[in-house]
Amino acid sequence: MTDRFVVLSGCSGGGKSTLLAELAGRGYAVVEEPGRRIVREETARGGMALPWVDPEAFLRRALEIALDDRRQAVTAEGWVFFDRGLIDAVSGLEAMTGEPALAEYGEAHRYHRTIFLTPPWPEIYETDAERKHGFQQAVVEYARLVRDYGRLGYQTVELPKCPVEERAEFVLWRLAR
């Protein structure tokens, strides 16, 4: 298990990327969400591995990128914060295809035992060029992720709905315990 690898997961539009930027500003190593990178790359090259065009191809690519992110993160020192990651991609793929991959990947590629989840927060949710799905779809995704992280034995901690600086302090406090 890589106890230094900390996942920020949860509801789309719940403030994960904002929290990741705050942690990066404090000097921590961070890994951007695979999905956002894929959308930018696919859009730039006219590709089809987009969640609203070919969701299975999108999730398979997210899985590959997440595995590569983990390999590269080994060289970083201290905490490494991931905006989503491998388990999120495998969870989505399993839900879509029925392929039972969660246990296999989940056991082989562990993260810190505590997973920080951004809860559904309609007051800050918004769509953009990289997030086109609606809030209700994000809530369904959140419930699936809570279930799947629990299935893998992780302790899930829901982040408080508060300013990003306080959220960062909360995460660091929980990790120091």
**Below-70 pLDDT ranges, the chain:** 1, 124-134
All structural domains of the chain? 5-176 (3.40.50.300)
What pLDDT score was predicted for residue 123? 72
What pLDDT score was predicted for residue 135? 75
What pLDDT score was predicted for residue 125? 59
What pLDDT score was predicted for residue 81? 98
120-131 tens-digit pLDDT: 877 765 655 555
91-117 tens-digit pLDDT: 999 999 998 888 899 989 999 999 999
Calpha distance 92→85 (Å, rounded): 11
Calpha distance 130→116 (Å, rounded): 22
CB 92 within 8 A of CB 15: no
